[in-house]
Structure 1
Amino acid sequence: MYLIVGLGNPGLQYAATRHNIGFEVIERFAYENNIKLNQNKHKAIIGSGHVKGQKVILAQPQTYMNRSGESIRAIMEFHKIKIENLLIVYDDTSLDLGRIRIRKKGSAGGHNGIKNTILHLGTQEFPRIKVGVGEKPPGWDLADYVLGRFGKEEMDIVIETIKKSSDAIECFIEEGIESVMNKYNT
């Protein structure tokens, strides 16, 4: 069984912001695999189904970004999911818009959602997809930048990046972390 988590903040005021790109990737993956995100459990919006013959749970924690780990731990404990079958998708300001980077493990890198997840799971050794949202412009506050929306001129790149991230999730489920890293970390 796999748990695929997209990080973001609940509420319409955060929809389509840079910080919520993890939510958007989960929504795209759910749509492509006919999985309904229609359950509210473990402080998350959840959907479940089968992808490539594997049982998959999709989750969008509703705890706000800085407390994402609470929800992730609750889901993992309830379903007895192995850490190597967890995949977290989230925004990364150190990657250019349009780039994704897949990692087997790693530090929080300043991302509060990942920092809280590491705290609650007691390890940083879990797979993740970092979705580039671009570096904040000079003089901008980081929170204002990540809670801002993409510009109209960026939308084609954002849509393509969400699709690429969704494809990477499918590859992770079907072929494993090494294969998805080899294919998408170019």
Structure 2
Amino acid sequence: MPVWLVVGLGNPGPTYASHRHNVGFMVADELARRAGTGFTAPRGMRGDICETRITSLGMGAVGADAQRVVLLKPRTYMNDSGAAVAKACAYYGVKPAEVIAVHDELDLDFGRLRLKRGGGDNGHNGLKSIRSSLGTGDFLRVRFGIGRPPGRQAPSDFVLSPFPASLREELALEVDRSADAVETLINSGLEAAQNSFNS
């Protein structure tokens, strides 16, 4: 039975919690909430970990079709996310093909979602670090659209700024939808998830 590693990309600590760059953490938190369990910080893992299972009934459910899922929120900061991913893969015996990275995507408008396997890093330091640590880019990605910065704002400043209050309700819906996409990806495969969620 494969073990799935769902990596929510973000930066640790309350300073970054509401930032656009932390949508991966938000989705991981929602999946843990659905599983009815929380994160722990095992010694030497370089990240916060939540171990659970998933069935066709959803995250945290039990049944004959249950698959193991490990949720990971790296504590290494975005640029070194791969160190935490490699550590978790080695510990739980996860192959790169069973790694799902949930991350913010500047090239997709807010409210759009795109699932794929492999591809480039597109300037995303978290993805670049994972590719470097795993020695391959052939892992699954759930790309959460945050859109481009307004005017001449630098992308680095934009991703490290919070979503405006006006988007709070819509953000909650998008986090929920992204969590649904992760569940579908594991239960039904990439093609079915793409058909349901790619926009």
Q: Which residue of 1 aligns with 2:189?
A: 176
Matched letter for residue 25 of structure 2: F
Q: Which residue of 1 aligns with 2:61?
A: none
1:92 maps onto 2:98 in alignment: no
Q: Give the TM-score normalised by structure 2.
A: 0.90
Q: Which residue of 2 aligns with 1:45?
A: 48
Query: What displacement does 1:40 show?
Result: 3.3
- 1:79 aligned to 87, 92, 100, which one? 92
Whole-angstrom CA distance in 2 between matches of 1:103 and 1:138: 29
- Deviation string for 1:116-150 (max 9, x for gaps)? 11111111111010101111112102111101001
Q: Give the TM-score normalised by structure 1.
A: 0.97
Whole-angstrom CA distance in 1 between matches of 2:150 and 2:74: 28
Q: Which residue of 2 aligns with 1:150?
A: 163
Identity of aligned residues (%): 34
- Deviation string for 1:78-128 (max 9, x for gaps)? 111122211000001111111111011111011011011111111111101
- 2:23 aligned to 13, 21, 24, which one? 21
Stretch deviating more after TM superposition (43-52 or 176-185): 176-185
Contact 2:148-2:155 within 8 A present in 1 as well: no
Contact 1:97-1:157 within 8 A present in 2 as well: no
**DSSP-derived class of the 1:87 partner:** strand
- 2:33 aligned to 31, 43, 54, which one? 31
Query: What displacement does 1:2 show?
Result: 0.7
- 1:104 aligned to 106, 110, 117, which one? 117
Whole-angstrom CA distance in 2 between matches of 1:46 and 1:146: 24
**DSSP-derived class of the 2:42 partner:** strand
Q: Flag structure 1 segments of 5+ consecutive residues without an equivalent.
A: none
- Deviation string for 1:26-60 (max 9, x for gaps)? 00011012132123341000010111111110000
1:121 maps onto 2:123 in alignment: no
Whole-angstrom CA distance in 2 between matches of 1:35 and 1:54: 16
Contact 2:74-2:81 within 8 A present in 1 as well: yes
Whole-angstrom CA distance in 1 between matches of 2:192 and 2:4: 16
What's the RMSD between the two structures over aligned residues?
1.0
Whole-angstrom CA distance in 2 between matches of 1:112 and 1:122: 15
Stretch deviating more after TM superposition (67-76 or 29-38): 29-38
**DSSP-derived class of the 2:15 partner:** helix
